[in-house]
Amino acid sequence: MLLPAKAEVARHLERYRAWERLLLVAPTDHAVRGNFENTGYTLCVLMGKRCAREAVEAAEHYLRGEAPVSALSPVAVAHGARGSQLSQGTQAQGVRRAVGRCP
């Protein structure tokens, strides 16, 4: 099974953390919240997880070399860095709203 490039995962994880910090500073800013949720969704797609918190944890383990191969979905392999483009569709918006709400 192919895995996403570590540089790509690291880049998206860094973006997620940056938007997370901005959201803590300005929790009512809708633009910041939207960008934060979009980066979380992208990590979900890359790491094959259902919520941002799980995706961030999986990304951190993967970057440390601890992630098992089964932690990544075939969708992450198929879409790779293009995962952020998926958030443009109407079907993806329902998933994007659920980011941050882990089961």
Integer Cα distance of 67 and 8 in angstroms: 15
pLDDT tens track for 68-78: 545 455 554 44
Please give the structure tokens belonging to residue 38.
């979009």
pTM: 0.65
pLDDT digits (tens, 9 = 90+) for 8-24: 999 999 999 999 999 99
Which is higher by pLDDT, 4 or 67? 4
- Average pLDDT for the chain: 77
Domain ranges of the chain: 6-97
Q: What share of the chain is helix, strand, coil (3-state, %, to 5)?
A: 75, 0, 25
3-state secondary structure 25-65: HCCCCHHHHHHHHHHHHHHHHHHCCCCHHHHHHHHHHHHCC
Per-residue model confidence (pLDDT) at position 2: 75
Q: What is the pLDDT of residues 21-64, one digit of tens each?
A: 999 999 999 999 999 999 999 999 999 999 999 999 999 999 99
User: What is the rounded distance in angstroms from the CA atom of residue 16 to the CA atom of residue 90?
Assistant: 22
